[in-house]
Structure 1
Amino acid sequence: MTLLALSGTGLAIFQISHLQQELEALKELSSSGQMPQSSEKLKGKANQKSLPLEWESTYGHAFTSGVHYEKRGLVIEEAGVYFVYSKVFFRGQACTTKPLDHVVFKRNPAYPDIQVLMQDRKMNYCIPTRMWGKSSYLGALFNLSRQDSLHVSVSEVMLVSSEESKTFFGLYMV
């Protein structure tokens, strides 16, 4: 079990490092006026108003190609295998016993219910009388269909940091 947990942690660290390198490359291309045509990705910051989370899709690190942002979700334009990732940073000043839930789910017009793709729940995440912060990172490969829309939901919207380097959501075609 320990080996499995360490392997999973290593893979997550590798994926985060890889995503940071891709983001830096995109920043360089963006500043030079050249944008890759086949990348499928959205980077952005959360707007903390409602569930599912609302995302900034045009400013900051936001980038969409091959997907479009609609009704608080990323809509797939081309079927295929995608790496989907989401990071949410929760922070607060008061300690509470409420769990912190972070869920990535999909919808499709042909299917009436939502399908949970990934989820995380944090318990016992704070110390009374101290400011606290807790990250939740989710990432995995999924076979997605055209018109699937992906969304992120959290249990405590008011505790989500809106800094785009701490809370983000995206995907890319593999």
Structure 2
Amino acid sequence: MTRLLLIGPPGAGKGTQAVRLADAYGIPAISTGDIFRSNVKNGTELGKQAKAFIDAGDNVPDSLTNALIRDRLAQDDAKDGFLLDGYPRTIDQVRELDEFLASRETALDAVVEITADIDEVVARLGKRALEQGRSDDTEQVVRHRLDVYREQTAPLVDVYSERKVLVKVDGIGDIDEVTERITAGLASRGIGPRDAA
């Protein structure tokens, strides 16, 4: 039963690492970005509301995000553990998640902060925009998203550091190396992959 949260700036490699870690630890990866993009693609009401925020590089409002995450965490595959990617992003969302987990008499086991150089992030996301045709990865939007991250999400690092659940990992380098850094950091806190259990 492993409950993890990945945080870090856009383009730090959270999505890639989330998939790898979810597989290694036998838990579902829950990405707000993927959920929003799926809703946008399928033209749902939530998707229409979210699209304007996403295209501008702004975070989707807490009210929409909280409802979506509560619903997702209540599903059967997440009751024995999960990996959150992209939520919470704000202190208010931390409180919402705390309340939800407390109602289930549980808490996060670890919070992995993936760090990355800003110019490296801009370059990565520019490449991804070309490869995937994503409207939310122009340089102007990326730099705005990084500013929003610094203002709203970076304070979460302090919160989780005070709770002594933070594992800080350098996200620059080979994907396998970054995965190894994360699993080593988690192992140092007694959290091992499914196969090691």
TM-score range, shorter chain: under 0.3
Structure having the larger proportion of residues in helix: 2
Structure having the larger proportion of residues in strand: 1
TM-score by length of 2: 0.24
TM-score by length of 1: 0.26
